[in-house]
Structure 1
Amino acid sequence: MTTALDPAAPLVFDTTELRGAGTMMHIAREIPAPEAYGLEAVFAVPKGAVLDLDITLTGVSEGVLAAGQVEAVAEGECARCLAPVQDALSVEVQELYAYEGSVTEATTEADEIMRLEGDLLDLEPAVRDALVLAMPVTPLCRPDCPGLCAECGVPWDELPDDHVHETVDPRWAGLEKLRLAGNDGESK
């Protein structure tokens, strides 16, 4: 397998020093998100947003175990009122990266476990997946957000308590026209 990873990418780490079981490397740094994580039009950690990493890489007999915490801020809009929303995400990441030719690589399917490419470990898929899975399916500005008025589209929080729209049942619309026409005849 040829190495396709860019060793200079912010979430790619060289694990050459971790070839012995029990050896460790601690990574504590802030990096920009290499791409947007989530649905940019709805709710996402934007590209370039700060990812705060606190990860320990540990050499194990079958590869390298990456475990720790990642923090980021996701932003988007409230699903009910469309107001801007920000949410601080804090997720745990734990992933085993198997050495090429290891027993783990031979006994698992390609999509069951992450693989090292040479001595390079790409933490980006694990970080992306953990952050996206921690995002709310329906982001809200607050749990009791009343949303928008269905008639005029203005957020309920901006409307007076007595806000209503006169609606005429379409089945009675013809009678309403007659009533209005009768009122016009009386005023003449």
Structure 2
Amino acid sequence: MSVSKKVSSNNSARHRHTPSTLTFDISRLGRRPGSMMAIRETVPSPSRIGVDLVAIQAGAPLTLDLVLQSVSEGVLVTGTVTAPTTGECARCLTPITGSVEIELTELFAYPDSTTEATTEEDEVGHVVDETVALEQSIIDEVVLQLPFSPVCTEDCPGLCPNCGVPLATAGPDHHHDVIDPRWAKLAQMMPDQNSGEAGDQQ
């Protein structure tokens, strides 16, 4: 259930934006419902965006193809963001590269709007000082798109459990002579027994 919040003149302070390459001035929309502006440009990612094993690296190019439209309650942002990704295979740890494309549909509420006043703070974006900050929206969508266990190939066999060599490049003859640990202990005892027998013969 939504909890009403008292609208005050310090909304900008409460939702203050951190400067970013993904913060955009929307003042020319002028709160005129139906007015639009397009953003078609490439900007560097302000931070690493992704999961543990694969991500968009900080500084990597983010290609934005977005439309920002003024609606009665705020600014609706729609469009796509694409970027290269780098990481490592979850099975063999080989470096991998790829790309990710996300679709954005995000409403940023105007200060003093009904939407701003009647939604939880983290349920909707906010227009602050005539700007919208897209970084968190992009982070949320990218994390949903990227696999938590990326692989270099679908049939990657992983690493050799004995020596750690990638099995994909180890060759068909790669193997290890592994002695059953029960027999290994017995083998360690054998030299002592042989030594004792030699002593008895003397």
Is 1:33 aligned to residue 33 of structure 2? no
Separation in structure 1 between the aligned mates of residue 48 and residue 174 of structure 2, nearest angstrom: 40
What is the count of residue pairs matched by the alignment? Answer: 184
> Residue 2 of structure 1 aligns with which residue?
12
Q: TM-score, normalised by structure 1?
A: 0.89
The correspondence of residues 1-188 of structure 1 with structure 2, limited to 5 A, is 1-2=11-12, 4-5=16-17, 9-18=20-29, 19-39=31-51, 42-177=53-188
Separation in structure 2 between the aligned mates of residue 149 and residue 169 of structure 1, nearest angstrom: 18
Deviation per residue, 1:43-96 (Å, 9 max, x gap): 211110000000000100000000000000110111111111112101101100
Residue 33 of structure 1 and its aligned partner are, at CA, apart by 0.3
RMSD: 2.2
Q: TM-score, normalised by structure 2?
A: 0.83
Unaligned runs of 5+ in 1: none
Separation in structure 2 between the aligned mates of residue 172 and residue 5 of structure 1, nearest angstrom: 67
Identify which range, 100-109 or 157-166, moves more after superposition.
157-166
Partner of 2:12: helix, strand, or coil? coil
If you compute each CA radius of gyration, which structure gives the higher value, 1 or 2? 2
Deviation per residue, 1:10-43 (Å, 9 max, x gap): 211111222111111010000000111124x622
Is the contact made by 1:100 and 1:118 (CA closer than 8 Å) also made in structure 2? no
Kindly report structure 1 stretches of 4+ aligned residues shifted beyond 3 Å. 2-7, 174-185
Partner of 2:175: helix, strand, or coil? coil
Is the contact made by 2:53 and 2:149 (CA closer than 8 Å) also made in structure 1? no
Is the contact made by 2:45 and 2:60 (CA closer than 8 Å) also made in structure 1? yes
Residue 106 of structure 1 and its aligned partner are, at CA, apart by 1.5
Distance 1:171 1:29, change over 3 A: same
Unaligned runs of 5+ in 2: 1-10, 198-202
The share of aligned pairs that are identical, in percent, is: 43
